[in-house]
Amino acid sequence: MTESSLADDLRARIIANPDFLLDDHDVMRALVGANDDARGGNIVDLRAIAMERLEARFDRLEDTHRNVIAAAYDNLAGTNQVHRAILRMMDAQTFASFLRDLTGDVADTLRVDAIRLALETDTPADHPAMDPAIVVVAAGFVDQYITLGRNMPARQVTLRKFQNVGASLYGDRAPFIQSEACLKLDLGEGRRPAMLVMGSENAAQFSQSQGTDLLVFFTGVLERVLRRWLA
């Protein structure tokens, strides 16, 4: 095929499908640049400037769109994880099986590396833990652990980097825990508060910048399940 026939073929293709050029940013930028060269360096093409600004704005909108979609998928995945974990907790027929599920399937579903249930009592020495999933602690421990001893109210859900101030909660997993979620539990009138801690070896798993709505919902369900077993 000669250069002339190739040019004619290309011209025919462009005429038949002009959107091919208009949708290609690199081609349009080259055409605008060639037009600027033909005009000379002392002429300002305001249309080209406006086009560049529109392209930059369009690129930002595309990035925002992709980020919104990614966040929506992440939120949907997180919602499904929490729902599956809740259903698994509710399937237990005995308290022992509930505790096994909590440290087994529930932990796996939530993708955490350690789960411990801390129960407060006035005399922890008189109440040895009945299961590896349970840690019996002294009265006031929950609020102190969540607030790190500061004079402030303990939130229902606290996400943070692991401070390694309560290594006994995670046992031999403590040296590997990088971030944790602390869920304060209300076990009903006349009962001391309890706490579920979830530890992760991933430092980015739990952080203060993350939303807590799903874990607040999870905490509410867990409170009701525990009230049933501890009644």
The pLDDT value given to residue 74 = 65
- The full DSSP string for 93-120 is SSHHHHHHHIIIIIHHHHT-SEEEEEEE
pLDDT by residue (tens digit) across 41-94?
555 555 666 667 777 777 787 777 676 666 565 666 778 888 999 999 999 999
Please state, for a pLDDT cut of 90, what percent of the chain lies above it: 39
Amino acid at 156: Q
Q: Are 172 and 196 in contact (CB under 8 A)?
A: no
The pLDDT value given to residue 32 = 62
Q: Can you read off the two tokens belonging to residue 41?
A: 């360096």
Average pLDDT over residues 210-219: 90
Domain boundaries, the chain: 92-230
Please state, for a pLDDT cut of 70, what percent of the chain lies above it: 75
Is 40 a residue whose pLDDT tops 70?
no
CATH superfamily of the domain spanning 92-230: GAF domain (3.30.450.40)
